Amino acid sequence: MEYEVVIGLEVHVQLNTKTKIFCSCSTEFGAAPNTQVCPICMGQPGVLPVLNKEVVTKAVKAGISLNGEISKYSKFDRKNYFYPDLPKGYQISQFDLPIMKNGYIDITLSSGETKRIRITRIHMEEDAGKLIHGEGEAVSYVDFNRAGVPLLEIVSEPDMRSSEEAYLYLKELRNIMKYIGVSDVNMEEGSLRCDANVSIRPKGETKLGTKVEIKNMNSFSSVRKAIDYEISRQIELKENGGEIVQETRLYDANKNKTFSMRSKEESHDYRYFPEPDLPPIVLSEKEIEEIKNSLPELPDKKRKRFVESYKLTMNEANLLTEERELADYFENCIKISKIEPKKISNWIQSEILAILNEKNISIAEFEKDYINPQNLVELLNFVEDGTISGKIAKQVFEEMLESKKSAKQIIESKGLKQITDNSEIEKWVDEVIKNNPKEVEKYKQGNEKILGFFVGEIMKLSKGKANPKAVNDILRSKLK
Ligand code: ADP
Ligand code: ZN
Ligand code: MG
């Protein structure tokens, strides 16, 4: 039987506020266990939470950026469950009146087609603490530093139909959160976490199948692999006459398998009720408008603008807008030069991205520690005005990375200036013709392709410095 895959994602984004959501403890990552705690985030009796305004601002930023409706009236609710990392016995979250509803993200599939993935809701909530299971010891430790760190839970509709679509959605979501500066969105450090809900149904069926929730994926590639594994597990089970049970499964990246963790609880199991210690959140049109106006240009808009104004392909625009800093670097180069944007884009994509990869640094670090837009433009201008060839430019670029000298200094000190003096080039041409009589004969018999061989030899003699156009012209006239 043919099956259709249905996927919905629940993504937790840790907000990068300085302090926690309901107290003034620091949210700094990596501190010694239980050093960033107070009676409020430890859940002592008699304390009162106070909402951090920055959390609301950042949630609204996220909500607007994901094209949703911001609630002018929303509230917090208690989600009751018992677990050692949750000192109060309940988590302050949002239930029926979340901060945002009805958003969406448009993703671009590999076919070039755009697909809209709807976002059901975003709610604000507090994070729980962290359990550390002592290795070889029959104990678990608990670190409450993370308890009370603000999170957004972003819930999608079950609109994705493959692991590829889930991956593209997650990546775009991550990019948007990064652009608007509300989170570090680091999957390895846990500031971006994703639970995937996966089900299958016979092709053509409109009712949803039983879903399985997968947790514990801490990289983009794990999300993809876990979903693919789960799809094949479900299909195999169905084909063998089995039934899929609604449950939560954990992904093990080393084994590339999912394992059953617990049967899934329903929302009524949590006994949600309104949080009595916090007033509702009331936002005015004006406040929402102000937050909206503070937002930067988002990736989708930037991509489209890059294609239109700089004549780039969608693929190129995609690459350049993946990081806001990279897009800025590109546009800064354009602003300070007359070089065609396409040429700058080519350089960034072929040379700079390779270096970022090789050195494992960000574009911001590259700009600060290696080559800034001014220096890059200076180098490219030397190619534009014919001082050096494109090939030599790559050599100068390497040298700039190493010595941190400017292109001008390197070209001068190494004597890399392109040679356009015809009498000098003629000497090399004559020498190559004299040394290769057989090839000359072949050329005269009509083998045009052999010209490339001559050019190569001449360039070698000139150490790459002869102007290629002059070489071609002189060579052709001498071989006549
Ligand atoms: P729950 O009550 O278990 O939390 P929800 O209806 O709130 O379930 O959905 C949670 C997530 O699971 C959402 O992202 C939603 O899109 C997704 N989802 C719901 N039903 C299915 C299904 N049958 N297959 C795949 N994903 C689903
Ligand atoms: Zn605290
Ligand atoms: Mg739900």
105 backbone dihedrals φ, ψ, rounded to 5°: -130, 135
206 and 311 co-located in one domain:
no
> With contact defined as beta carbons under 8 Å apart, do 203 and 5 qualify?
no
Atom number of ligand 1 nearest to Cα 210: 23
What atom of ligand 1 comes closest to residue 213's alpha carbon? 12
The domain boundary, picked from 262, 289, 316, lies at 289
Confidence (pLDDT) at 246: 93
Separation of alpha carbons 329 and 426, rounded Å: 42
- 84 shares a domain with 214: yes
Estimate to the nearest angstrom the gap between the alpha carbon of 312 and the chain centroid. 20
Q: What is the pLDDT of residue 471?
A: 86
Q: Same structural domain for residues 378 and 426?
A: no
Looking at residue 478, its pLDDT comes to 86
Among all bound ligands, the one having the nearest atom to the CA of 119 is 1
With a 6 Å cutoff on the Cβ, whether 248 touches ligand 1 is no
Query: Same domain for 220 and 243?
Result: yes
| Nearest listed ligand to the Cα of residue 37 | 2
Could you list the beta-strand ranges (E) of 69-175: 69-70, 73-74, 77-80, 90-93, 100-108, 114-126, 130-133, 140-143, 150-156
Domain count along the chain: 3
The domain in which residue 451 lies consists of: 422-478
CB-ligand 1 contact for 161 (6 Å cutoff)? no
pLDDT in tens, the chain (480 residues): 899 999 999 999 999 999 999 999 999 988 999 999 999 999 999 999 999 999 999 999 999 999 999 999 999 999 999 999 999 999 999 999 999 999 999 999 988 899 999 999 999 999 999 999 878 888 999 999 999 999 999 999 999 999 999 999 999 999 999 999 999 999 988 999 999 999 999 999 999 999 999 998 989 999 999 999 999 999 999 999 999 999 999 999 899 999 998 776 777 789 999 999 999 999 999 999 999 999 999 999 999 999 999 999 988 999 999 999 999 999 999 999 999 999 999 999 999 999 999 999 999 999 999 999 999 999 999 999 888 888 889 999 999 999 989 999 999 888 777 777 788 888 888 988 999 989 888 888 888 888 889 888 888 888 888 888 888 889 888 887
Nearest CA to 66 out of 21, 11, 5, 113 is that of 11
User: What is the pLDDT at residue 85?
Assistant: 93
Tell me which of 5, 105, 197 to substitute to probe ligand 1's pocket, judged by most ligand atoms within 8 Å of the beta carbon. 197
Beta-bridged to residue 390, according to DSSP, are none
Query: DSSP letter string over 165-194?
Result: HHHHHHHHHHHHHHHTTS----TTTTSEEE
Where among 268, 289, 310 does a domain terminate?
Answer: 289
196 and 240 co-located in one domain: yes
- Do 209 and 67 belong to one domain? yes
Give the 3-state secondary structure of 286-300: HHHHHHHHCCCCCHH
Please tell me whether residues 440 and 407 are part of one structural domain: no
Ligand 1 nearest-atom number relative to CA 199: 24
Residues 306 and 437 in one domain: no
Task: Let me know whether 440 and 379 are in one domain.
Answer: no
Say what angle helices 407-414 and 373-384 make with each other, to 10 degrees: 50
User: What value, to the nearest 5°, has the Cα angle with vertex 168 and ends 55 and 120?
Assistant: 50
Domain boundary among 381, 414, 447: 414
Based on the fold, state whether residues 208 and 301 are members of the same structural domain: no
Over the range 189-209, which residues count as b (16 or more CB within 10 Å of their CB) and which as e?
A: ebbbbbbbbbbbbeeeeeeeb
At residue 207, the pLDDT reads: 96
User: What CATH number has the domain bearing residue 472?
Assistant: 1.10.10.410
